[in-house]
Amino acid sequence: MLSATIAQQPKLLGRLAVQSAIKAAKGETIQKTIAVPVKVATKENIAQLTSF
């Protein structure tokens, strides 16, 4: 039985991608990798994680 899973944060991923694209377009140096935290999704908190 699955009691939890990992939830990525698509809004944050998108925001960071656009910020990096803008920096790259301006000729600025961008990080090779950017860590984006993930969250543990359970039946108790899933509504909070999926509301946009």
Higher-confidence position of 28 and 5: 28
DSSP reduced 3-state for 4: coil
Facing residues of 40 across strands?
A: 6
Closest CA to 5 of 48, 38, 40, 37: 40
On whether the CB atoms of residues 45 and 5 are closer than 8 A, the answer is no
What is the residue range of 40's domain? 5-50
Q: 52 falls in which pLDDT band (50, 70, 90)?
A: low
Q: Identify the residue with better confidence: 27 or 46.
A: 27
pLDDT of res. 21: 96
- Report how many domains make up the chain: 1
pLDDT digit string, tens, across residues 6-37: 888 888 999 999 999 999 999 999 999 999 98
- 41 vs 19, more confident: 19
Nearest CA-CA partner of 2 in 36, 30, 33, 40: 40
Q: Is 2 exposed, middle or buried (0-12, 13-18, 19+ CB in 10 A)?
A: exposed
